[in-house]
Structure 1
Amino acid sequence: MGVKVQMDAIIKSEEDQRQYRALVLNNDLKVLLISDPATDKSAAALDVHVGSMSDPTELPGLAHFCEHMLFMGTKKYPCENEYNKYLSEHGGSSNAYTAADHTNYYFDVAPDAFSGALDRFAQFFVTPLFTEGGVDREVNAVNSEHEKNIQNDYWRLAQLEKSTADPTHDFSKFGTGNKDTLDIIPKEQGMNVRDALLQFHDKWYSSNIMALAVLGKESLDELEEMVLSLFSEVENKSVSVPEWARHPFGPEQCRKVGYVVPVKDIRNLYITFPIPDLHPHYKTAPGHYLGHLIGHEGPGSLLSYLKGRGWVNSLVGGQKSGAKGFAFFVVNVDLTEEGIEHVEDIVTAVFQYLNLLKKEGPQQWVFDECRDLSSMTFRFKDKEQPQSYTCGLAEQLHYYPLDEVLCGGYLLSEFKPELINMVLEHLTPESIRIAVVGKALEEKVTCTEKWYGTCYKMECVEEELLQRWRDAGYNDLLQLPSRNEFVPTNFDLYSDPQESNRLPEMISQTPFARVWFKQDDEYKLPKAVVYTELFSPVAYLDPHHTNQLHIFAQLFRDALTEYTYAADLAGLTYSLSNSKYGLTLLVKGYNDKLHVLLEKIMERMTSFTVDPKRFEILKDAYVRGLRNFNADQPHQHVVHYTSLLLAEHGWTKEELLEATNEMTVETVEAFIPRFLSGLHVEMLIHGNMRRESAATLATTLQDQLTSRAHTRPLLPSQLVRQREYQLRDGSSQMYRAENSVHKSSAVETYFQCGMQETHNNMLLELLCQIFAEPAFDELRTKEQLGYIVWCGIRRANGTQGLRIIVQGDRHPEYLTSRIEAFLYKMGDNLEKLPEEDFVRHREALASRRLERPKKLSHLTGNWWAEITSNQYNFDRDALEVAHLRTLTKDDVINFYKQFVNSTASQRKKLCVQVISTAPGGAGHPDTVNRTEPDDGLSLPPPLREPEVITDIPEFKQGLALYPLMRPLIPVSTKPSKSKL
């Protein structure tokens, strides 16, 4: 037990207050220790440099299955759910993923429970059990995960790329696995999958190809001691990291075009070139340099030209990682209806831009700009959540020298034109692969991909077309970008001793606008966040108005792309989105030039005119999006229908789709001034900005509206938000919908628990804290009802309740019965819950609630939610946790008996079932009446037969509405004098 290498001189940002130490243990395990005494969450991640490309050929999905099984008990902690139970009881969570050549495991937990969690975590890599029973059950979870993805176009296209690669290359494997590959076929061939799992773990889970990142409040010496005592036991088998010198796209796989029929009505063009692995050149980052130019969205860019021709809506260009030894360079575009007819012309334009880059040669100033922007990002990098931070660093330990693990992905130091030219030389017609995706290709396809059933056809690109691309020449409309005028130059931090408020304060209120402000004194970065809501009663007046507002927001974002892209590159971003209440504008990033961007946005908004060509293209995209709803996951459907059933106003996808027939250039042109004519503005300004500057910013925005759009304030009576329908006490309602795309069905069982207020908020959260892990363990792990099992809170329009969502291959009737059985059992478990376990759960919830947002923008987002819900409880976490700690076990039991128990007097149950009608789907009657598991989970006493909802408007007519929430801070709708 000991350390081979210890390094404290880790290059870090000057703003980073944490302490770092890198180690290489005697067993060659790489370790990064991060000491952060101020952290309110501890975390760790371990990355094994092996993944699905190392699966045995005869067992596709074994690496992924190993990732699943590793959590199912160890020699020291044999109980299957010991790890998750421990984390749940101490405010933690965990997850893992399997990639092509990495498998990454990570968790977070309350700092005081870190050593216990790390002990349990370490055992996975020392003595996992891989029990026979666990193997038999967990293969169903892997299969359910695969089934969930079968109708997902992202997964289908990713696998098609693999399936059309060199069939002798490991890249071509089916990485997820399913019941066929991991159970049925192996058994038919006399293979023991558990033995194969043990062999895979024994072969590849070697300390010398592992990397561990650990973050805790302990000192570096204490963290080192913990790691040494727990991870020195991991065996070093002196394995070599798998590497693939040969590319999966060789000469036989290039100069090919594939035509693919998607599940959703999408149209895409994917252009891929094989390139070498660029990780060794991280200090030069030639792929980043070329991606910066090819993916640029400003004037003269490839995207700007293709949009101008009406062929595409968006473009992504740059390097895409493959695995150790090879990579890809991609140019992907979202095609318009006209664009899918001009694929050859789009590829020609790509080669014309590449020719421009070759003619101009690598530009020192472009590299310097990329270098300076990356350096600025590193210097002023927001803190990340400990879990995601350690997860990323564990993988990066494999790629960068120990002292550069933090900065390796950011600090460019070597301009090497020859490397940029080397990558450019790979981007030729001879090495191109093209995939065209669209519903219009259905008559063209002739093949079916093995694992996902994707319909496609592969063809060789004709020599005549290749020659046309070789001779593409130049295009006068394409040019290199200009120097970025949005790069900030002033990073001064403002502090005002008089700004002593911990929470946002209203600094101005008029009939037209309400402005909230908080100067940052916590994150101390030269950044700010500005939220603005333009509230209008016409926003959700009917489906027609809803569509018009949506398309206006789309047209606006589309029109501003060229201007705002430079700001985006320079760390200053904006978003404009429509809601039931109007438009929400968010501008965030470096504060130096934030006002310039905000003023430009408002100037364009108040003088906006509709481009007829872009209108037709974006309307088509919007209509396709509405039609694609049926291909969304069943669990997304149950959430949608629950909201539709309970919201005061809600338009179905069918109603919105039908109303698109009324939408024209003329109606949108008329709608925009009407929308802007009467508004209420709500603003929140938070960050590195003085009060006077914030007030000026708010005034400028308001002046733009009043002077240019002649906006008038709304009446106080118009400032009304939506309410929620109140289910009757003792009622049981059921709504059923069908889905013909997915084989899985889904159910959401929702128990309405009344209005949000501190006491009930904490009782409901505590109930969910106690229920969540057992729900996952019982319904997913033990009963194998489906990959997606979720137990938590639904909050909307000031109301709240307990929701349990399950998606799986069983009929929703059966899923519903098992949820009821689980809840019945949990009533008994609550009664028997030891006091010390109850206190542990209470503190776990307190720990989670008191965890501070790591980024300025996250805290602003929390406060903005308080403003838009009209609750204004800016110190909610502290106030509610103080009340939480006064609650007793009896309080929770009584809450359960009041709202959830099968005989509860105020039980208000709404069950939404989405039933699969796909061939072989979970809507078949056989999926209802399978034998119930022999697990002691009995059904509650006979339940009241649910009332089936067949007509949503009729269902709502008989219900009362809950009142609107009363704000914590009384906010008058009458004008008051500014506090400035």
Structure 2
Amino acid sequence: MKKPALTFVKYWIFALVAAFAASSSLATPIIKSENDDRLYRTITLPNQLQVLLISDIDADKAAVSMDVAVGSAANPDSRPGLAHFLEHMLFLGTKKHPEAGEYQAFIQAHGGSHNAFTALTNTNYFFDINAADLEPAIERFSQFFISPLFSENYTDRERHAVHSEYRAKIRDDGRRIYAANQTLINPAHPASRFAVGNLDTLPNDKSGQLRKDLLDFYAQHYSANRMKLVILGKEPLDDLQALAIRYFSAIENKALPKFEITAPQILPSNLKTKIEIQTLADIRQLALNFTTPSDHPYLQSKPLQLISSLVGYEGEGSLLALLKEKGWATGLGASPGATYKYESSFHVSISLTPSGMEHTDEIIALFFSFIESLKQTGISETLFKEEQQLGKTAFQFLAEQAPIHYVTQLAQRMQELAPAYWLNSPYVLSEYEPALYQQFLGYISPENMTLSVQAPSIQGDTKEPYYNTSYRTSTIEEGLIKKWKQAPILPELHIRGNNPFIAENLAIKPAPEDKKSTPSLLNHTPDGVRSWHLQDTLYNTPKADYFFTLLTPLAREGADATVGLNLYTQMVSEELNKVLYDADMAGLSASIYPHQRGISVRISGYNDKLGSIATLIAKTLRAPNYSPQRFARILTAYKQQLKNAEKEKPYNQLFRVGYEILLQDAPLTELQAAADSYTLKRLEALVETLFTEVELRTLSHGNLTSAEAVKINNDLITTLSPINTAAIAPALTIKQLNDTHFEKVNIDIEHNDSAVILYMQSLDDSYQARASTAVLAEILSAPFYSQLRTEEQLGYIVFASPVTLNKISGISFVVQSPNTPADTVVSRMEYFFDQFTPTLETLSDDSFEKFQTSVLNRINEQDVQLTSKTRRFWREIDQNEWKFDSREQLSSALKKLTKEDLVKQWEVLRRHKLLLSSQGRAVSEASVATPPEG
């Protein structure tokens, strides 16, 4: 094999050096889960690049992540957004591969995906790809860190892409709230600064200056000794090590010092400050923020994580449970904030009801009452050991993640942790330190707090410059500080007790003799009940999934029924919340949700107590507590949710309207009208009607025997006790687009950006049509993005994606633009399609086979987790594919495809189109640069 850039002798010298580095670093071994059969090795290349190698012989996807320990904190004061801009520019060609879209096209054509992100202190680049194609992908990827071009001709274009990304989220309340809160941060701390970048912060008016600044930033901050690399592939470790040496040894080591933030995030003068922020969406939040010493040295005892777990608890005695009883809150979250060299932080966010907005001072007093109780009681060793055991069990039976997510997480952990803790750091809890916990609790005090209140009704007196957020700040009155400091301990607020759902039996059931790989129907079920089961020992874990659904024609009876089923499932979830929160903490999660054909329940986790949770949920479904207070709170929150749907990103709103048209769902306006007049009495009547006659389907999968599955099913049927069960599942139909009429729908959306979705639809649901559409989407995706996003700069949000609705395949082409009218976007799309037709007709055999193989690999990608396989089976059950062979059928159709089939299918798709568009408030023809000739 040819070894580019290195002579044969040099190659083996590097190999010997790296092997020595690997053997010495393994003196502190990487701790891995007992359920993890992958092999790990860490090496340090001569250029001081530290590499983690992961060999997984069963992997069908390889993945790579490079984490660079520098981010937006390093932006020059004169260039906000430069680090983010560099992240964009890095992908646009290298000396070895100068074509801007070549890397993206290669990854896409070989079954992969790629992305990057810029954070405050790190920038991460990552991709996955078919396992057989790892080396050529690594060769391309490595060149970004060796010889990026940062071409002048893309500098101006890509700053417009950064601006488009900024504009796409300018009405996003998360960004707007964050920007306003930045005004409370110490100006010397980089977290106080605008980091995304836009045309104003990245001006290019002086020829070549922006590119020079970019090159300077790269030269000053990108160095091998600041980088951490993770490579996951199916090759043996020695082969992966050879790849790392061959392709990454040429990255320059500039011996840069570690980039660290030493300035305090909050100055003493900003403590005891309240900031009130106006939101665009109908949301109400109360946020309490506290600065603490850095908790990074305390990995083994995790003080902030333990405190967060106790404050964020939602069961009996919790702060949230009391706030819900008072009708003041709908949700609460507690978490550690970002950790720097000398400090960390602790955050609490409370979602308020309209009534809660009137009682924020009392809510804060209740919070400090709970904190005082926690300080006096302390974190007991019993509670510590319970958390410790939960962490140990979770790590022991840790499920595999998708490779691309796994390598990205690990590359970031490598920046801060010793190798021993790269894999297990979230689960380590080995040192009980009650004095340390008290020390950190001491920082959660009114004197050490900044307070943020967010609501649409707030009228500010200042505008944040980048997101135009209206806000006002004030000093919290000393009387309130004193009141909160003296908040009394209340008996209804107390630390949680022992968790009753911790799994006790973690034995793996003996494998069944039949060795089946797909679910089978269980016998002895009444009419209208179908139950499938598969005992699956492949994942070697004491976990199982139990899904069931109640199907009813009621679900297709318009807006009133849709609203009712939403409220019903939320009422049940809310009633069960205290219990299900404990179960979730113990590794047994449950979700209850409505859909287009009824309602469903999914339970996943340790199988030991799965049956009891299923029965409890069924009991509550059949006889919910129709609390008027709970109904009022949930109805208000649901109406708020429907109202906020009008504030979503434009392209998301277009997708919603598209589904309303294609699936004949109730429009948002009808749902809002139905919710406005909905009553508790109507909800009670709906539930009674639901159980008059239903079709029940269940699926049990994992560490459950068929006898255990039968018992859970029988208990479920008995508890639900429907009056009648029958095969009455409503059919879903998709609107067939007319080939003689190009349907166009324009929606008025309150947003500056224009947006377009052009949906093309297949004629039928045959496997041949699905296969050809999937290959066409694979071929189209990269060039569509490259042309309309990279070359024409129509917007940051540009993508093409396959969409299958009720087995009818199609492709959606999406553009959201801050600078181009919708009509112009459509014309550029159509021009691209016109140019694509001859390209498709002349596609080479090699290219056709490459895309065909890529789609085959995507379709047959292995299920790395038990639940991902369960969900695949569940989709088959929902679509009446009870042979569970749709992947095989689709693969067979793919293998039979010809280029002529693609050409014919493309002609079909282009004749069956739905155009959804929004013009955008700030977009006009005058603002548009002349598009390329076409």
Same fold (TM over 0.5): yes
The corresponding residue for 2:421 is 404
The corresponding residue for 1:643 is 659
The corresponding residue for 2:802 is 793
Aligned to 1:34, which of 47, 51, 54? 54
Q: How far, CA to CA, are the matches of 2:775 and 2:208 in structure 1? A: 46
Taking the TM superposition and a 5 Å limit, the aligned residue runs for 1:285-364 are 285-364=302-381
The corresponding residue for 1:682 is 697
Aligned to 2:151, which of 120, 128, 131? 131
SS in 2 for 1:178: coil
The structure-2 alpha-carbon separation of the partners of 1:645 and 1:243, relative to structure 1 and needing over 3 Å to count, comes to same
Deviations 1:620-646 (A, max 9, x none): 111111111221111112211222222
The corresponding residue for 2:724 is 712
Deviation, structure 1 residue 829? 0.9
Q: How far, CA to CA, are the matches of 1:123 and 1:757 in structure 2? A: 43
Aligned to 2:275, which of 248, 258, 265? 258
Quick check: 1:914 aligned with 2:913? no
The corresponding residue for 1:827 is 837
Q: How far, CA to CA, are the matches of 2:876 and 2:175 in structure 1? A: 37
The structure-2 alpha-carbon separation of the partners of 1:873 and 1:784, relative to structure 1 and needing over 3 Å to count, comes to farther
Deviation, structure 1 residue 156? 1.2
Deviation, structure 1 residue 684? 1.0
The corresponding residue for 2:756 is 747
Tell me, yes or no, if the aligned pair for 1:533 and 1:682 is still in contact at 8 Å: yes
Aligned to 2:791, which of 771, 779, 782? 782
SS in 2 for 1:747: strand
Deviations 1:625-675 (A, max 9, x none): 11112211111122112222222x321111111112331122222322222
Deviations 1:292-333 (A, max 9, x none): 111111100111111112111111012122444432201111
The structure-2 alpha-carbon separation of the partners of 1:519 and 1:728, relative to structure 1 and needing over 3 Å to count, comes to same
SS in 2 for 1:97: strand
Aligned to 2:736, which of 726, 736, 742? 726
Q: How far, CA to CA, are the matches of 2:282 and 2:355 in structure 1? A: 15
Indicate the larger mover: 290-299 or 634-643. Answer: 634-643
Tell me, yes or no, if the aligned pair for 2:295 and 2:339 is still in contact at 8 Å: no
Deviation, structure 1 residue 792? 2.1
Quick check: 1:876 aligned with 2:880? no
Deviation, structure 1 residue 379? 0.9
SS in 2 for 1:156: helix
The corresponding residue for 2:677 is 662
The corresponding residue for 1:926 is 926
Q: How far, CA to CA, are the matches of 1:629 and 1:318 in structure 2? A: 27
The AA in structure 1 aligned to 2:313 is H
Tell me, yes or no, if the aligned pair for 2:54 and 2:237 is still in contact at 8 Å: yes
The corresponding residue for 2:769 is 760
Indicate the larger mover: 623-632 or 868-877. Answer: 868-877
The corresponding residue for 2:10 is none
Deviation, structure 1 residue 86? 1.2
SS in 1 for 2:762: strand
Quick check: 1:701 aligned with 2:716? yes
Q: How far, CA to CA, are the matches of 2:190 and 2:62 in structure 1? A: 37
SS in 2 for 1:5: helix
Q: TM-score, normalization: structure 2? A: 0.96
Taking the TM superposition and a 5 Å limit, the aligned residue runs for 1:371-450 are 371-442=388-459, 445-450=460-465
Tell me, yes or no, if the aligned pair for 2:145 and 2:251 is still in contact at 8 Å: yes
The corresponding residue for 1:845 is 855
Deviations 1:505-529 (A, max 9, x none): 1114532311011111322211111
Tell me, yes or no, if the aligned pair for 1:705 and 1:711 is still in contact at 8 Å: no
Q: How far, CA to CA, are the matches of 1:19 and 1:206 in structure 2? A: 28
**Runs of 5+ unmatched residues, structure 1:** 901-906, 939-980
The AA in structure 2 aligned to 1:12 is K
SS in 1 for 2:612: helix
The AA in structure 1 aligned to 2:655 is V
Deviation, structure 1 residue 732? 1.1
Aligned to 1:811, which of 793, 801, 821? 821
Q: How far, CA to CA, are the matches of 1:550 and 1:409 in structure 2? A: 35
Q: How far, CA to CA, are the matches of 2:555 and 2:854 in structure 1? A: 41
Q: Report the number of matched residues.
A: 912
SS in 1 for 2:398: coil
Indicate the larger mover: 693-702 or 725-734. Answer: 725-734
The AA in structure 1 aligned to 2:679 is T
RMSD: 1.6
The structure-2 alpha-carbon separation of the partners of 1:541 and 1:120, relative to structure 1 and needing over 3 Å to count, comes to same
Aligned to 1:769, which of 778, 802, 819? 778
Q: How far, CA to CA, are the matches of 2:681 and 2:208 in structure 1? A: 67
Deviation, structure 1 residue 703? 0.8
The AA in structure 1 aligned to 2:724 is R
Deviation, structure 1 residue 873? 5.3
SS in 1 for 2:854: helix
The corresponding residue for 1:591 is 607
Q: How far, CA to CA, are the matches of 1:875 and 1:745 in structure 2? A: 42
SS in 2 for 1:841: helix
Quick check: 1:194 aligned with 2:203? no
Quick check: 1:691 aligned with 2:697? no
Tell me, yes or no, if the aligned pair for 1:242 and 1:324 is still in contact at 8 Å: no
Deviations 1:339-367 (A, max 9, x none): 01111111111111111111112311111
The AA in structure 2 aligned to 1:913 is S
Deviations 1:257-283 (A, max 9, x none): 111110101011111111222122111
SS in 2 for 1:885: helix
Q: How far, CA to CA, are the matches of 1:358 and 1:517 in structure 2? A: 49
Q: How far, CA to CA, are the matches of 2:879 and 2:815 in structure 1? A: 29
The AA in structure 2 aligned to 1:88 is Q
Indicate the larger mover: 233-242 or 563-572. Answer: 233-242
The alignment-based identity, stated in percent, is: 31
The corresponding residue for 1:903 is none
Deviation, structure 1 residue 611? 1.2
Q: How far, CA to CA, are the matches of 1:779 and 1:233 in structure 2? A: 34
Deviation, structure 1 residue 895? 2.0
Tell me, yes or no, if the aligned pair for 1:723 and 1:798 is still in contact at 8 Å: no
SS in 1 for 2:344: strand
SS in 1 for 2:863: coil
Q: How far, CA to CA, are the matches of 2:639 and 2:416 in structure 1? A: 44
Aligned to 1:279, which of 296, 303, 307? 296
Q: How far, CA to CA, are the matches of 2:643 and 2:339 in structure 1? A: 33
Q: TM-score, normalization: structure 1? A: 0.91
Deviation, structure 1 residue 422? 1.9
The corresponding residue for 2:108 is 88
The structure-2 alpha-carbon separation of the partners of 1:324 and 1:128, relative to structure 1 and needing over 3 Å to count, comes to farther
Q: How far, CA to CA, are the matches of 1:61 and 1:168 in structure 2? A: 17
The AA in structure 2 aligned to 1:926 is A
Tell me, yes or no, if the aligned pair for 2:792 and 2:932 is still in contact at 8 Å: yes
Q: How far, CA to CA, are the matches of 1:226 and 1:725 in structure 2? A: 51
Deviation, structure 1 residue 170? 1.3
The AA in structure 1 aligned to 2:366 is A
Tell me, yes or no, if the aligned pair for 2:556 and 2:730 is still in contact at 8 Å: no
Tell me, yes or no, if the aligned pair for 1:306 and 1:312 is still in contact at 8 Å: yes
Deviations 1:411-461 (A, max 9, x none): 21111122212211111111111111111223xx11111110111101110
The structure-2 alpha-carbon separation of the partners of 1:827 and 1:252, relative to structure 1 and needing over 3 Å to count, comes to same
Tell me, yes or no, if the aligned pair for 1:62 and 1:197 is still in contact at 8 Å: yes
